[in-house]
Amino acid sequence: MKKKNINKYWIPGWMLLLAFACKQPADIKGHEHHAHTAMRSVVADTGISHLIRPVNEEVLSKVQVLTPAKTTKAITVKVQGVVGYDTRENTSLSARVGGRIEKLYVKYNYQPVQKGQLVLTIYSPDLVAAQRELILLVRTNGEDQLVQSARQRLRLLGITEAQIETIARSGNPVYSIPVYANASGYILEQSAPANSAIATREGQYVTAGQTLFTIYTNQALVADFSFSPAQAASIAKGKELSYYPSSNPNLSYTGKIGLVRPVLGSGQNFTQARVYQVPRNLKPGQQLTAEMTIVTGSHYWLPQEAVLDMGNHQMVLFKKEGPVFTPVYIQTGIKADEQIEVLDEIGNWQVAANAYYLVDSEGFIPQTQKQTP
């Protein structure tokens, strides 16, 4: 009887134990499956995707943002200029004979000269030969026609009538011919900066008809002003502007643009506007400041601190989503009143109010070309 009672409890116990043993692997597999599912959900979460992006492509910040507004502005731009000579009023000083420069009396560009002033002397073998021909004809009582031809040849070589008479009477040739300034003004070698030493030297050989110098008459002055490419679209021939000496803003003048031309050189790109008939009380080389009112088209405007100027291009920090900002190239126009004109369509953008605040090194520059959000 006792044995039957033991079997009564023993058999159900073993059955429960076996059932628990069979159920445990399934439970373990279920836990492993749950763990793998949890891991996959962490990898698929995009909430931290911006944190693993390169630092030169995106930045996280809670900096203040602004939305650009489109408007038309009438702004006053200031440009720099300089007084110069009117290059239309000039004359060339040429050598009438070929030979060697024996003596040079001018030393630097823009040196003032007066009409009739001795500029240089030239030793010319051709000149000496022509004088000896005249002396021989006079001494041998040559025909008048030959004598007159010899005199005319000397006149064409630049010998004055008084010098010809002296040569014929004394029988002594002149070995160097003087070259005089044919106008009053400022002497200049072409394409030479002001006050630089002239390239022409004593002992240098010249040919007949060669232009030695250009003399700019000091009867007319001009003012040349330099406009940036963004400002150039707003200037035109005949448009008025006011200007004044940079050292004396109270002395103001008004003039009309008479010439507009692009200038490329020394790595710079700008447009030059020239004003003619500048007052005579201004001096060549004097620095000027011009002011001109420009009416812009309907474009967006941003504060200067919101635009990163990288030299060859400009960019803003566009708010992508949440606290994420990404740099985007933009096309800019005129700069005025501490604001920059933006030519792109950015009406629905939000950009960092101070882009420089988010730049802590020169490495924060997009590696790709022009991109849009």
Mean pLDDT score, 128-147 = 87
Over residues 307-342, the pLDDT tens digits come to: 888 777 888 888 887 778 888 888 888 887 788 888
Count the Cβ atoms, other than its own, within 10 Å of residue 71: 11
| Type and span of the H or E element at 244 | strand 240-245
Over residues 169-216, the pLDDT tens digits come to: 888 888 888 888 988 888 877 655 555 667 777 888 888 888 888 888
Q: Does the pLDDT of residue 131 top 80, yes or no?
A: yes
Q: Does domain 90-216 have CATH number 2.40.50.100?
A: yes
pTM of full prediction above 0.95: no
Q: Does the pLDDT of residue 18 top 70, yes or no?
A: no
pLDDT at 47: 53
pLDDT at 139: 85
Mean pLDDT score, 269-277 = 89
Q: How far apart are CA 157 and CA 123, in angstroms?
A: 12
Mean pLDDT score, 350-362 = 72
For 194-205, b where at least 16 C-beta lie within 10 A, e where not — what string? eeeebeeeeeee
Pick the residue with more confidence: 190 or 81? 81
E strand map for 44-167: 59-60, 65-66, 69-71, 74-85, 90-94, 99-104, 111-113, 118-123
Topology annotation, domain 51-70+298-358: 2.40.420
Query: Token digits for 310?
Result: 């990288």
**Architecture of the domain delimited by 77-86+220-295:** Beta Barrel (2.40)
